[in-house]
């Protein structure tokens, strides 16, 4: 019964606000707007303050891990001190050698297993979050430039399909909330365009830093759909579509979100 009530609240709030803005929204990939612009001034200030932004705790931990000798050598022994500046803008990326799409987390794990001869880090583990936010932060303020052709193309198509597919008991697609309804209120939240450029990000609701895939799981449980696994093929394809759709936006990681 509680589930049904919740569903009614979500649907109800969408229905109430829908007519007000209907037809005035442009497709968000034509003019992407960062989730930053939908935040309260306080939350923006927290993201902008490089000390108060709690995400920098993970960046600092990642910087230490990066220099630490592990397995056959530290990350830094191969990549140098500033060797990964700008790299996060190119992910997710089709890897010819692995013949698969790798996001930043996946790429870091390939270096762990192939180069450092260490076991892969679990998705959403503190260590992987630290390394991925450290690498992402090195591209803060830069724009993404992902390729969606060649080996990446089928992943991109699958991600695009996923974005438009209605899911869950509420039967809503990503697109209905983040393309058609951004700017409207949904319960306590102002709907953004669902851009990925802040991640890994510190969510106040989580009280911790988390990956984009964790955020996607939250959106899926929000519509009472079965979430995909972190790092799953479905989310990798979706991530590629989201990053392509966000082109023109600067990376903000570590972002701060509600």
Active site (catalytic) residues: 219
148 binds other proteins (CB under 8 A): no
What's CA 108's distance to the chain center, in Å? 16
CA distance 110 to 140: 23
90 binds ligand HEC (CB under 6 A): yes
Whose Cβ is closer to other proteins: residue 103's or residue 138's?
Answer: 138
Beta-ladder partners of 95: 100
* Binding string, residues 9-48; x marks residues near ligand HEC by CB under 6 A: --------------------------x--x----------
In the bound complex, what is the minimum distance in angstroms from residue 112's beta carbon to ligand HEC?
Answer: 5
116 binds ligand HEC (CB under 6 A): yes
Nearest to 61 by CA among 110, 117, 121: 121
Nearest to 144 by CA among 213, 92, 209, 81: 92
78 binds ligand HEC (CB under 6 A): yes
CB-facing half-sphere around the CA of 46: CA atoms within 13 A: 18
In the bound complex, what is the minimum distance in angstroms from residue 57's beta carbon to other proteins?
Answer: 4
Size of the site for ligand HEC (CB under 6 A): 42
User: DSSP 3-state helix, strand, coil percentages of the chain (rounded to 5)?
Assistant: 45, 10, 45
Q: Please choose, out of 1-9, 49-57, 144-152, 215-223, the segment that lies near ligand HEC by the rule CB under 6 A.
A: 215-223
CA distance 26 to 45: 28
Whose Cβ is closer to ligand HEC: residue 196's or residue 254's?
Answer: 196
The distance in angstroms from the start CA to the end CA of the chain is: 28
In the bound complex, what is the minimum distance in angstroms from residue 165's beta carbon to other proteins?
Answer: 26
The residues in 46-65 that bind other proteins, with binding defined as CB under 8 A, are 51-52, 54, 56-58, 60-61, 64
> Any idea how long the chain is?
258
CA dihedral 164, 165, 169, 171 (to 10 degrees): 50
Query: Which position among 13, 100, 208, 218 is part of the footprint of other proteins (CB under 8 A)?
Result: 208
Q: What is the DSSP string of 82-126?
A: STTTTGGGG-SEEETTTTEEE-HHHHHHHIIIIIS--PPPPTT-H
Helix, strand or coil for residue 198?
Answer: coil
Query: Which position among 30, 96, 207, 226 is part of the footprint of other proteins (CB under 8 A)?
Result: 207
Residue ranges in contact with ligand HEC by CB under 6 A: 35, 38, 73, 75, 77-79, 84, 87, 90, 97, 107-108, 111-112, 115-116, 131, 135, 163, 172, 174, 176-178, 186, 189, 191-192, 194-196, 198, 215-216, 219-220, 222-223, 238, 242, 257
């Amino acid at each position: 019964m509680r589930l049904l009530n919740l569903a009614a609240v979500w649907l109800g709030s969408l229905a109430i606000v829908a007519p007000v803005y209907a037809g005035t929204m442009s497709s968000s990939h034509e003019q992407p707007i960062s989730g930053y612009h939908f935040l309260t001034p306080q939350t923006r200030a927290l993201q902008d303050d490089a000390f108060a932004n709690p995400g920098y705790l993970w960046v600092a931990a990642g910087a230490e891990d990066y220099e630490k000798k592990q397995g056959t050598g530290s990350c830094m022994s191969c990549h140098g001190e500033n060797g990964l500046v700008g790299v996060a803008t190119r992910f997710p990326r089709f890897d010819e050698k692995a013949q698969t799409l790798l996001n930043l987390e996946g790429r870091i794990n390939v270096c762990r297993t192939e180069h450092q001869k260490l076991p892969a880090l679990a998705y959403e583990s503190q260590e992987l979050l630290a390394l991925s936010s450290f690498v992402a932060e090195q591209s803060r303020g830069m724009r993404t430039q992902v390729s969606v052709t060649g080996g990446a193309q089928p992943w991109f198509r699958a991600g695009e399909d996923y974005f438009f597919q209605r899911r869950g008991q509420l039967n809503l697609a990503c697109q209905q909330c983040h393309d058609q309804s951004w700017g409207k209120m949904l319960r306590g939240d102002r709907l953004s365009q669902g851009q990925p450029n802040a991640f890994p990000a510190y969510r106040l609701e989580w009280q911790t830093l988390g990956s984009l895939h964790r955020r996607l799981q939250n959106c899926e449980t929000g519509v009472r759909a079965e979430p995909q696994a972190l790092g799953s093929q479905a989310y990798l394809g979706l991530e590629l579509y989201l990053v392509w759709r966000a082109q023109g936006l600067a990376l903000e990681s570590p972002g701060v979100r509600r």
